Structure 1
Amino acid sequence: MKERGSVGDTMRHSRGWAMAGTVAVSVLAGAAWITTGKAQTRDATGAPTPGAAAIRPGIAALVARPRGRVDWQGAVGGLRQSANVGESLATNLNREQVDQTAVPILLPQDAKLTAGARIYSFGDYYTITSNTTGGRVSLSGTTATVPMPASKPLKIETGPEMLTVQRTVDGQLASFVRYGVLYSVEIRCDAASDPRCADDNYVLGLVGKTTAVVMGKAAREAAGLGG
């Protein structure tokens, strides 16, 4: 009987190209562009300004795109499986920012990595940054999703779906879906020779252990667990 390969090997089979980490930024940028566009095409009374350029429907459609639906039942299951591990790892995160986050937060089960981490919440989008020796790790989660290339879900019970890995200018970026949320894990290195950024082994290993679920007040309320 052939043994199943490691999680990292299995994950490579669904490698592709995506820039999931920039999805929420792009959406926010699009929203800002449209707001500016409206100010330029209407006068103080709100009436259209003659000769003003119309807003491009493509941008408007992007901003109007409905948010993804969080699988709260699955997320609560992940929260219970994490037991107290998630809360322990989140000890040093700003609690106010955690409570404002309306999606399940995923943390790597690596106390050294989360010890100096910082979280920035935008409601249904968050990003966490952590400095490491000679590099930086970023983690993010958002419900603002865009269509991704068709691929078969990974046959791993607790693994991510729609996993993609991309080589960036100074590191590796992995994106995946779990609980209906689009997450990304990125490693950036100061030196091009750093083995963590030379290939995808490190970032895939980081994805494999980014399983601890943390829910703040907003997420708990959305999940029906109370604040």
Structure 2
Amino acid sequence: MRHQRAWTIAGAVVVVTVAGAAFSLAQTRQGNAPRDATGAPTIRPGIAAAFVDPPRSRVDWQGAVGGLRQSGGAGESLGANLDRAEVDRMAVPILLPRDAKLAAGARIYSFGDYYTITADTAGGGVSFSGTTTTVPLPANKPLKIEGDAAEMLTVQRTVDGQLASFVRYGVLYTVEIRCDAPSDPRCVDDNYVLGLVGKTNAVVMGQAARAAAGLGG
């Protein structure tokens, strides 16, 4: 199941597809577009924008380094089981929940400026993502999204759960819970997903992020 949402960062709209997003975003790069006999990309009307490499928001590396220090090494210990090669290629700060059980079975899929971390839970699953990809809105199609405080927190009900998004360090992060049973209390209201958001603050930086932040590889 995939759910597409849009958020604004500094006057731009961020578009991300969750639950399978990593693969969707990777496949919408221009290099993966279908091509004609001459090798030129052939893009159907209405989806041309999906194959244009979108602009990116600026990461607040000073704030991210502060978050890394406040994490006190928790991010590294929680992310010890993640594929290190995937972590090292991420050019954005990764956020992990301070929950050893969730982190223990987590899997990461990274694409340089976008990542998704998934983990199974009893009767469902959770996912955490971060991206700097932005898509400017046409002037004749304004979109206003009300946020909560500085981090622009929003929560939405999905077909099978709850999805929360927020902005931190100039990066759009999402936290999602999906439940197999519609009556699962974790997905009936937003209490559980908000609890996850509250503890998703352990910062992890791989080689690419550390280099961008001036910390060295």
TM range, smaller chain? 0.7 to 0.9
- Unaligned stretches of 5+ residues in structure 1: 1-16, 156-160
- Structure 1 residue 171: Cα displacement: 0.6
Long gaps (5+) in structure 2 = 7-14, 137-142
- Indicate the residue corresponding to 1:63 in structure 2: 52
- Cα distance change of structure 1 residues 202 and 224 upon mapping to structure 2, 3 Å threshold: same
Moved over 6 A (4+): none
Shift of 1:197: 0.4
Question: Which of the numbers 72, 88, 96 marks the counterpart of 2:85?
Answer: 96
Equivalent position amino acid for 2:158 in 1? T
TM-score, length-normalised on structure 1? 0.77
SS state of the match for residue 113, structure 1?
helix
Q: How many pairs are equivalent?
A: 197
Distance 1:121 1:27, change over 3 A: closer
Larger fraction in strand? 2
Aligned to 1:151: 146
Evaluate the alpha carbon distance shift between residue 152 and residue 207 of structure 1 in structure 2; reply closer, same or farther with a 3 A threshold: closer
1:153 Cα deviation from its structure 2 partner: 5.3
Are the structure 2 counterparts of residues 125 and 29 from structure 1 closer, same or farther at C-alpha, using a change threshold of 3 Å?
A: same
Output aligned runs, 1:1-227, within 5 Å. Answer: 18=5, 21-22=16-17, 27-31=25-29, 35-36=33-34, 39-40=35-36, 43=38, 56=45, 59-60=48-49, 63-146=52-135, 149-151=144-146, 154=149, 161-227=151-217
Larger radius of gyration: 1
Partner of 2:12: none
Contact 2:165 2:173 in 1 (8 A): yes
Larger % of helix: which?
Answer: 1
1:13 is matched with which residue?
none
Please give the root-mean-square deviation of Cα atoms over the aligned residues, in Å. Answer: 2.7
Identity %: 67
Within 2, Cα distance between the matches of 1:64 and 1:139?
23
Shift of 1:57: 8.4
CA distance in 2, matches of 1:60, 1:75: 30
Tell me if structure 1 keeps the 8 A contact 2:147–2:153.
no
Q: State the TM-score, normalized to the length of structure 2.
A: 0.80
Distance 1:55 1:134, change over 3 A: closer
Deviations 1:34-89 (A, max 9, x none): 731xx22x626x6x9xxxx8765872487243111111011001001101111111
Deviations 1:90-129 (A, max 9, x none): 1111111111111100001111110111111111111101
Q: Partner residue of 2:10?
A: none
Take 1:141 and 1:198, find their aligned partners in 2: how far apart are those partners?
A: 25
Distance 1:69 1:216 in 2: 18
Q: How far did residue 221 of structure 1 move?
A: 0.5
Q: Equivalents in 2 of 1:28, 1:119: separation in Å? A: 14
One-letter code aligned to 1:209: K
Offset, 1:151: 3.0
